[in-house]
């Protein structure tokens, strides 16, 4: 059973639009949720993260919305740029345990 | 300059052989990790080390053995290689255990 699920698998947006990436999780004890961005041939890079005590985290064009009751979160990429084209991974962890990743959402931003 | 160095970048191995994947981090971090990324599977946590001590092992097989000779090194020895071991192996580090990670660029292993 997959602990962290992401949707959609792939997403295409036009430059300037807001991309919305969804994530849900099974374990209600997860308390830390980072999002990673990965370009082909590179390792994942931390983009933004949120703790379960918060319901929103903003960093520039990137915003996480978190709903603890529904065990869902989403990443909004505002004013999408072609350079944002990458695969985005939602992850979760409980305390000091390793991260559990979703399968990722591939985002393509067209000019 | 890369802050986490993984060597080699690409590796082809014969079934049954043994290989060592190298990881060095120059971030001054105290915790290091190994993750595996296979086709159509999520990034999978394998090991975590903190101050050169094994803290967590989520790998079922004893064929995978991490080795930490120095604080900023965490190598991964894989014995009796199988085709199913083909994947990209990522090393990561963090300041303290399970704070924000920095990942290396990975070693792409193909077992034939």
**Residues B35 and B45 sit within 8 Å (Cβ to Cβ):** yes
CB contact under 8 A, A46 and B33: no
Mean pLDDT for back-to-back runs of 10 residues, chain A (111 residues): 91 97 96 95 94 96 97 98 97 84 97 93
Distances (CA, A) of A108 to A11, A81, A103, B64: 6, 9, 16, 36
Which tens digit of pLDDT belongs to each residue from B4-45? 999 999 999 999 999 999 999 999 999 999 999 998 889 999
Instruction: Please give the pLDDT value at position B52.
Output: 86
Percent of all residues in chain B with a pLDDT value above 90, rounded to a whole number: 71
Q: Tell me the pairing of strands A19-25 and A32-38.
A: unpaired
Query: Residue B45 is nearest to which of A32, A99, A103, comparing CB atoms?
Result: A99
- A40 — contact with chain B (CB < 8 Å)? no
Cis amide linkage into residue A65, ω under 30° from 0? no
CA distance B36 to B83: 14
**Residues B87 and B64 sit within 8 Å (Cβ to Cβ):** no
């Amino acid at each position: 059973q997959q602990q962290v699920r992401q949707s959609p698998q792939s997403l295409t947006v036009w430059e300037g639009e807001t991309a919305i990436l969804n994530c849900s999780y099974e374990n209600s004890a997860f308390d830390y949720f980072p999002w990673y961005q990965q370009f082909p041939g590179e390792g994942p890079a931390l983009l933004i993260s949120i703790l379960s005590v918060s319901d929103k985290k903003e960093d520039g064009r990137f915003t996480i919305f978190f709903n603890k009751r529904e065990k869902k979160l989403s990443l909004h990429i505002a004013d999408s740029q072609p350079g944002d084209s990458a695969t985005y991974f939602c992850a979760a962890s409980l305390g000091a345990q390793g991260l559990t990743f979703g399968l990722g959402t591939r985002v393509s931003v067209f000019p | 300059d890369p802050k986490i160095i993984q060597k080699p970048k690409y590796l082809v191995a014969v079934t049954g052989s043994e290989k060592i994947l190298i990881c060095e981090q120059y971030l001054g971090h105290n915790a290091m990790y190994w993750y595996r990324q296979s086709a159509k599977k999520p990034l999978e946590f394998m090991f975590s080390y903190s101050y050169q001590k094994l803290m967590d092992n989520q790998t079922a097989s004893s064929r995978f053995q991490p080795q930490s000779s120095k604080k900023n090194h965490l190598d991964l020895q894989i014995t009796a290689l199988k085709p199913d071991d083909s994947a990209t192996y990522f090393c990561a580090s963090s300041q303290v255990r399970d704070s924000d990670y920095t990942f290396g660029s990975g070693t792409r292993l193909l077992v034939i």
